[in-house]
A = this chain, B = another copy of it.
Amino acid sequence: MSGTGGEIVVRITTGDGDLDPRILRTRAAVVQAATALFLENGYVDTSLDDVAARAGVSKKTIYNNFGDKERLFTEIVLGVTATAEEFAAGLTSSFGDGRDIAEMLHGLARRHLDSVTSPAVVRLRRLISAESRRFPDLAREYYRRAPVRVIAAFSAAFADLAARGSLQLTDSARAAEHFAFLVVGPVLDRIMFEGAAAVPGADERDAIARAAVSTFLAAYGARPA
């Protein structure tokens, strides 16, 4: 609606556009409730009655705004994935020209480990993986947008460091994979089975990061002389 002769802008997928504020409030409440419930209980064990009750909204309203349960789910998951994606994008941003490369890598490892073990990411990973049979496209999309993107960022950063002589490598993508999974491999594997309860404490995370950096630098560090 609106302007004088202007085009009607339909901005559904972008979410917050210029819509009736009532609809916005309603959608926000539903999204918030559904996000919490899906992440907590999974797809099948979350009924839309639950979502409606938690959102303080009638079930019909959910159907009016989201079509059906599958579309609600994909919208929820893509939304959370987007925030995870932003977070991942910031991982290597502060990866400037530090002096001590070991220290730089340690910081990167810690940030990577902390991000992967954060409750939100843990729940998201487990949810998407668990529903990947029912939503294969969604799972592929998440994988492409989060883990793949992180490795790619590492790869670019390592290629830079190699060009400056701080690292020695021929395949920066492989080096990025090695770094990433030296850091998060074991804990990631355990988390898939035991959930957030398996996340190690800060001290252990620090030890993991240190050991990973040490192994990585032994293989990819610049020759001392």
Decide if A194 touches B130 in the complex (CB within 8 Å).
Answer: no
Shortest C-beta distance, A136 to chain B (Å), equals 8
Known: A185-B180, A185-B181, A186-B181. A132 touches B215 (CB 8 A): no
Which residues of the partner chain B approach A194 to less than 8 Å between Cβ atoms? 132, 136, 139-140, 143
| A129, closest chain B residue (CB) | B192
Q: Number of copies of this chain in the oligomer? A: 2
Q: Please measure, in the bound complex, the distance between the C-alpha atom of A77 and the C-alpha atom of B103, giving whole angstroms.
A: 44
Q: Is A182 an interface residue (CB 8 A)?
A: yes
Which residues of the partner chain B approach A218 to less than 8 Å between Cβ atoms? 218-220
Which residues of the partner chain B approach A107 to less than 8 Å between Cβ atoms? none
Which residues of the partner chain B approach A193 to less than 8 Å between Cβ atoms? 128-129, 132, 139-140, 142-143
Q: Is A41 an interface residue (CB 8 A)?
A: yes
Which residues of the partner chain B approach A195 to less than 8 Å between Cβ atoms? 132-133, 136
Q: Is the interface of A mostly helix, strand, loop or mixed?
A: helix
Shortest C-beta distance, A20 to chain B (Å), equals 37
Decide if A189 touches B186 in the complex (CB within 8 Å).
Answer: no
Shortest C-beta distance, A209 to chain B (Å), equals 12
Residue-wise interface mask of A (74-100) relative to B, using a CB-CB cutoff of 8 A (1 in contact, 0 not):
000000000000000000000000000
Subset of 25 A-B contacts with CB under 8 Å: A42-B133, A126-B132, A126-B133, A129-B130, A132-B192, A133-B195, A136-B194, A139-B193, A139-B194, A140-B193, A140-B194, A147-B190, A151-B186, A177-B185, A177-B186, A178-B212, A178-B215, A181-B182, A181-B185, A181-B189, A182-B185, A192-B192, A215-B219, A215-B220, A218-B218
A residues apposed to B, CB below 8 Å: 41-42, 44-45, 125-126, 128-133, 136, 139-140, 142-143, 147, 151, 171, 174, 177-178, 180-182, 185-186, 188-190, 192-195, 211-212, 214-216, 218-220
